[in-house]
Structure 1
């Protein structure tokens, strides 16, 4: 019996994969730092053993799956190699594992996580489906036909995969610490396109995705008339969005999703297109769409009194716009308060003006100090540089959280990819205790 040991099991992808293997009947354990991460909750619910990093964790015969954040010199990896055991990097292992299924890779600069969640929820109503979502959620089905996975472009990690299908939600410049420009990002997606085996479902209103070349059909979706799958006659309410779908200009059906914003409609359209291609009955697609309520850290709401606190991973200007747009649709009569923590100095510097422009869509703006890794050097950049571009914005630090109380009956958007949730938790405590 193989024991799978995950070095860095609290990583979002690593946690998801550990859950999948465990659910599929494998013996799984892992190690990581002692700091609590939300990704460990589903591991603990399954009673998967989480150890402190220690070379003694590694025993003969184990297969070690190593997170990409850990170099070959990591003591556990060194010990595994000394014992002659298998050491496989996360992406390589996953690339081999998905060959057992009809695999669906969801990629794009924005929208990956929600689309992966929606895709697995909808197609899971048709046939057993295993899935890996980048928010630390994974599920393994022993009799799975489909494997739906989030595939990230960062450092070209997704090139470890040769999926049957790929959904490409958009191409945008991000990760400026790795990609040099938009053409560099495009080249990564183009390389992936040539590895897809059955079909690509791509957002046709994206100028870059229109240029994708592939050896399989490229099916386009969007709002523009040139797409293969088009959303028309859209109705947006405080309950969600409904729209008609036309397939190559022929009416297909009307769908409702309890989600908000144009991006949610587009993500849904991508799922509908792939399900149509796979022959999923339309009544299944419609029913499953109605019962999808999102994924972790994507417009996740907490209501305290008359206040709505939203936790959202938005860390790029495009994503901030989408989150504010969603809030305006769902809460059209409320004040929208943005609390934003930039993630990495390189991204903040590259998009400084775009961050300012997107945040100005909110009624009030609070900025938290830039969250960064120890590997980054900040130069002379600080949160004050962003604040200077947004009239009326305030810098929020721990001791000033109570300042948020001056906004009542408001929607508070806590946005960022770092630890912005600590500010939300502190504000929640103030609201609950009346401090």
Structure 2
């Protein structure tokens, strides 16, 4: 498949980001010319440069040669010198989602949306389709453990994409198959109100192609409501509470040593869907992936085998290592519902050991809006270390710190540590044989897992 004319010579500002690097991978695989820039170097650039991308560290107007388009994300500010140069020269500027939509053309498109679980569900569907030898193209917000990649140009005529609602840009897509895992207020810094946030999902569902399929979790009231107000498309629900003839009713979830298994009733038959990652929420994600895969023409037995072999996504309860009898994991959960769901899964995985979580709040707006909900979720752990807020794209807000969460946590041990360099020795002090520690959050807390392991090894002389 050829490169869309608008993207024949694409320059990507912030090419190291998860979404942008994925677009670069696909363009390069199709034979396009790719240039880009970022504020700092990244390991992802090794592969992109090897495939022919020209990448500059530092963002300057002169980095633009003669691109047919400049691609940006919402994170790129209007004052960016390369964006300013593109506008001065009349070079077309495309949002990342617009570029991805162009790459989807000519494919049967499946988009996975929802407040929580979209990365895992997209990844599960991708791996299951690959197991069925359908070779889908895909673009995901995280790296698959199997391939280490977040995007791929496939030859199978199917395109699977994670649909990001954070800035509303998923309204660019027009899928044939869409999954909505859940709808719960988030990203209010962009959308403003919970009602506006919910409304953008309604608009997304209206973009499904006529005759297409909407798959929703019937256990989630807001997602379920989306299915009650559609015309010209089919609807399929999944969950414990669904009752429709063609819905996938979850009969039971059984945790196993390495993951779990979901027993469902579908079209009058009972099926067992194996899941290679722990947690009932992951079981529901697997059912959604199964239904989407069936709609795309894959066989049920092949999809089930693929889901059983799914190795997870980086930063989704990713095992980092073991120090003696203690284990360390890393997880991306950054919303109260995600934190609670993951800690329930962690509790089972810990067995008789204690659960220790090192949590970094993400965004000042989210911390302020959901501090009580975060505290309630983190209270599921035995020991909690709360870091200061990782602001990302936001400027600091007076009075909004990790202490807002820490002071409300009802757990055996709560520790607020705003000094990043003091977290490792503090966490190591808390760990006892048999414990399970998880670093959690969407910021640079991910760096701490290996450092905590190294400190534990140093103390034990390993």
Q: Same fold, TM exceeding 0.5?
A: yes
Structure 1 counterpart of 2:236? 219
Q: CA deviation at 1:33?
A: 0.3
Moved more, 62-71 or 94-103: 62-71
Q: Deviations over 1:262-282 (max 9, x none)?
A: 111110110111222233212
The answer to whether the aligner puts 1:50 opposite 2:55 as a matched pair is yes
TM-score, length of structure 2 as denominator length = 0.88
SS at match of 2:167: helix
| Whole-Å separation in 1 of the counterparts to 2:375 and 2:121 | 27
Alignment of 1:297-336 (within 5 A): 297-305=315-323, 306-336=325-355
Q: CA deviation at 1:90?
A: 1.1
Contact kept, 8 Å, 1:304 with 1:431, in 2: the verdict is: no
- Quick one: structure 1 residues 7 and 405, their matched pair in 2 at CA, closer, same or farther if it must change by over 3 Å? closer
| Whole-Å separation in 2 of the counterparts to 1:39 and 1:415 | 22
- Quick one: structure 1 residues 45 and 283, their matched pair in 2 at CA, closer, same or farther if it must change by over 3 Å? farther
The answer to whether the aligner puts 1:265 opposite 2:271 as a matched pair is no
Alignment of 1:224-243 (within 5 A): 224-226=241-243, 228-243=247-262
Q: Deviations over 1:41-90 (max 9, x none)?
A: 65356563321222222122543222222244432233334444333221
| Whole-Å separation in 1 of the counterparts to 2:150 and 2:234 | 29
Q: CA deviation at 1:12?
A: 1.5
Contact kept, 8 Å, 1:21 with 1:140, in 2: the verdict is: no
Moved more, 348-357 or 300-309: 300-309
| Whole-Å separation in 1 of the counterparts to 2:154 and 2:183 | 34
Q: Deviations over 1:363-389 (max 9, x none)?
A: 111111111146434122222232211
- Aligned pairs, how many? 433
Q: Deviations over 1:359-415 (max 9, x none)?
A: 010111111111114643412222223221124301233225223233222111101
The answer to whether the aligner puts 1:128 opposite 2:142 as a matched pair is no
Q: CA deviation at 1:231?
A: 2.0
Unaligned regions of 5+ residues in structure 2, if any? 144-148
SS at match of 2:93: strand
Structure 1 counterpart of 2:379? 360
Q: CA deviation at 1:112?
A: 0.8
The structure 1 residue matched to 2:428, chosen from 400, 405, 409, is 405
Moved more, 395-404 or 13-22: 395-404
Contact kept, 8 Å, 1:98 with 1:163, in 2: the verdict is: no
| Whole-Å separation in 1 of the counterparts to 2:47 and 2:442 | 20
| Whole-Å separation in 2 of the counterparts to 1:99 and 1:214 | 24
The answer to whether the aligner puts 1:286 opposite 2:292 as a matched pair is no
| Whole-Å separation in 1 of the counterparts to 2:306 and 2:89 | 48
Q: Deviations over 1:245-270 (max 9, x none)?
A: 2114x114222111111111110110
- Quick one: structure 1 residues 233 and 72, their matched pair in 2 at CA, closer, same or farther if it must change by over 3 Å? closer
| Whole-Å separation in 2 of the counterparts to 1:359 and 1:84 | 50
Unaligned regions of 5+ residues in structure 1, if any? none
| Whole-Å separation in 2 of the counterparts to 1:284 and 1:120 | 12
The answer to whether the aligner puts 1:175 opposite 2:175 as a matched pair is no
Moved more, 42-51 or 94-103: 42-51
SS at match of 2:221: coil
Contact kept, 8 Å, 2:11 with 2:67, in 1: the verdict is: no
Q: CA deviation at 1:181?
A: 3.2
Q: CA RMSD in A?
A: 2.1
The answer to whether the aligner puts 1:372 opposite 2:391 as a matched pair is yes
